[in-house]
Amino acid sequence: MARYKLTLEYDGTGLVGWQRQANGPSVQAALEDAIEAFSGEAATTTAAGRTDAGVHALGQVAHFDLARLRPADTVSDALNAHLRPRPIAVVAAEAVNDDFHARFMATERHYRYRIVNRRGPLTLDRDRAWQVARPLDEAAMQAGADLLVGHHDFTSFRAAECQAASPVKTLDQLRVTRAGDEITIGARARSFLHHQVRNMVGSLVLVGEGKWPPERIASALGARDRTAAGPTAPAKGLYLMSVAYETG
């Protein structure tokens, strides 16, 4: 048996997310179909994170097994040939030990959320960022974000359908930056709850608009109640940037 680690990039627009589903095209289904088309084997792929419908990725990681070893370049080239014209690409492939697990061995996941803060409608970024027309104060948003960093019970920022065993997570970084009209919010942690990043972003936008003082983020966090936090930001602004693993 040979195990492969893939790094994937995809545009989530029009996809139902990572996980294979009956109601539309998914990344997992497209990838597994491509594996079978080139190898003749029915393989199961496992991802570092199950991105939702509309969420994008620049550095999703997945693994799968084949019966025999093939050169990594052959695997990536063959998969990309069979993935076309879907908006999914293998950007790197490598053979790994058979105990490698894309999900359970990940030590950090890095997400980025893009907001375009302008009145004019989006054209090129229409499905790739959240447009917020009301002026945003990124310094106030950062002050609120700082209150979320650390080891907390994130029940207030957890989706109702989240299947995680515990709402307690350690958020290592939540950084708000602006470049012109674009505000990006970068989040780093070993793992996240379902919709955690999008729910945090929705609350921080309320702070940026002046509807909430930054201190209300701490109150929402302490309430341990989803209704105490802000709305869920749209999926189209969220990107899985990278997944880290221990080396050596």
**CA dist list (Å): 10 to 15, 51, 59, 60, 219:** 10, 11, 9, 8, 36
Q: Which helix (H) or strand (E) holds 83?
A: helix 72-83
| Residue 248 clears pLDDT 80, i.e. is over it | no
Q: What is the pLDDT of residue 247?
A: 76
Both 41 and 146 in one domain: the answer is no
Closest CA to 169 of 80, 99, 108: 108
Q: What is the pLDDT of residue 99?
A: 95
**CATH (domain of 194):** 3.30.70.660
pTM for this predicted structure:
0.96
Catalytic annotation present for 52: yes
Contact 84, 33 (CB under 8 A): no
**Catalytic annotation, pick one of 52, 73, 127, 137:** 52
Expressed as residue numbers, the domain containing 155 is 106-245
Average pLDDT, rounded, for the chain = 97
Contact 151, 170 (CB under 8 A): yes
For 207-245, the pLDDT digits (tens) are: 999 999 999 999 999 999 999 999 999 999 999 999 999
Final residue belonging to a domain, choices 61, 77, 96: 96
Rounded-to-integer distance, Cα 37 and Cα 82, Å: 7
Query: Binning pLDDT at 50, 70 and 90, where does residue 246 land?
Result: confident
163 C-beta neighbours (distance < 10 Å), count: 8
Final residue belonging to a domain, choices 96, 122, 155: 96
| Residue 189 clears pLDDT 90, i.e. is over it | yes
The number of domains in the chain is 2
Query: Binning pLDDT at 50, 70 and 90, where does residue 72 land?
Result: very high
Q: Return the amino acid letter for 35.
A: I
